[in-house]
Amino acid sequence: MLVEPRSEEQLSQLLRCCDAQEIQPVILGNGSNVLVSDDGIRGLVLCLAPGLDSLAEQDGVITCGAGVSMTRLCRFALEKGLTGLEFAFGIPGSAGGAAFMNAGAYGGEMKDVLIGCTHLTQSGERGSLMGNALALGYRHSAYRENGFLITSLMIRLAPGDKAAIRARMEELIGRRKAKQPLEYPSAGSTFKRPEGYYAGALIENCGLKGKSVGGAQVSEKHAGFVINTGNASSSDILELIRLIQDTVYREKGVRLEPEVRFLGF
């Protein structure tokens, strides 16, 4: 079952219902960094992207619903003349998902600007985490462990020049288009960056650029992306991911950890 709550109150009621029925729901934002099994997901999926979409700003702090897209959030910051979020322009996910995984790019990460989150517990109770309690690290936050559901973010930015902010956003989206295979479907960057290395370089140095399994392929544009060339199954993509991991570990001695989340397998 797929449910799209349109308000925090609806979401709270759903979580209370799930808790009473001992159902563990699967939480989705924009779904941009997940691979779902070909067999689907048995159970209840809560998709937040259509709801929880409020945006407000006061004294340089943006309060943002978890379902707001990162692109919309960055454009809102630009409209308000606030700098600090330019790195996130073009990240194809929701604000809640970006906080959940401490998303980052081009030298910036959510940790630099995120000061707090409100959430609902698994039993539908409201709460919040602020500052160090967020436990933000590389592709990590406290929410990866506690099972709570982020409902809103508080982001502190600095006053900036709109023209300079827009120019930086345009520069970074241009770099994304030039270097990443955005013309093909993918779940984004496939692997986390291993300490001291770059995943894409390791994969390319192992001769895997262009390697295919069924319709899944290591991008010839950027080896850090596994793309769908048109008819890939989830099984194709998962098999290729495992082949990459085995090859890189055998040849380079480095274990690649997926950045993509696997659901329903």
Q: Supply the residues annotated as catalytic.
A: 139, 189, 259
CA atoms of 220 and 208, how far apart (whole Å): 9
Report yes or no: 98 and 177 within 8 Å, Cβ to Cβ. no
* CA distance readout (Å), 196 to 102, 144, 192, 199: 19, 24, 12, 10
User: Beta-carbon neighbour count of residue 245 at 10 Å?
Assistant: 18
CA triple 101-225-90, angle to 5 deg: 55
Positive/negative CA dihedral, 66, 72, 78, 84 = positive
**φ, ψ at 262 (rounded to 5°):** -105, 125
Angle, in degrees to the nearest 10, between helices 70-79 and 162-179: 150
